[in-house]
């Protein structure tokens, strides 16, 4: 998984939902992040993926295989943007989405 993400020929996008969730976890002391997550995304050459109304609508209509609304939003974005979702969570396999498991 790491070699694919680090390949400069592969487009890697980072959802605003992921940054939002990491910021919450950092604030709760569950995640340690040095500096700005937005700056880290840019420094790695990753593309930001904003949350659109279509993403939100799709996320709200997905089956509740996964109870986490952040994760359902990531599924919706991957479906609508034709992206592969990178995750270690096996529940994502229950959705119609391409998954790169780690």
Domains of the chain plus CATH, in order, are 2-101 (3.40.50.1010)
Of 94, 74, 96, the closest CA to residue 85 belongs to 74
Q: Is the pLDDT of residue 69 over 80?
A: yes
What are the structure tokens assigned to 78, written together?
């991957």
Q: Are strands 47-49 and 13-15 parallel, antiparallel or unpaired?
A: parallel
Cα separation, 57 vs 55, in Å, equals: 6
Residues belonging to the chain: 102
pLDDT of 15-53, one tens digit each? Answer: 999 999 999 999 999 999 899 999 999 998 999 999 999
What is the model's pLDDT at position 11?
Answer: 87
Q: Is the pLDDT of residue 1 over 70?
A: no
Q: Token match 């998954």: residue?
A: 99
Q: What is the mean pLDDT of the chain?
A: 90
Its pTM stands at 0.87
- How distant is the alpha carbon of residue 55 from its chain centre? 12
């Amino acid at each position: 998984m790491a070699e694919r993400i680090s390949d400069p020929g592969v487009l890697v996008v980072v959802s605003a939902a992921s940054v939002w969730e990491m910021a919450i976890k950092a604030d709760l002391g569950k995640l340690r992040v040095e500096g700005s997550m937005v700056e880290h995304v840019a420094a790695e050459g990753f593309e930001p993926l904003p949350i659109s109304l279509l993403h939100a609508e799709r996320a709200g209509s997905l089956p509740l295989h996964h109870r986490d609304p952040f994760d359902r939003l990531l599924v919706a974005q991957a479906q609508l943007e034709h992206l592969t979702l990178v995750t270690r969570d096996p529940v994502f396999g229950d959705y119609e989405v391409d998954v790169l498991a780690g």
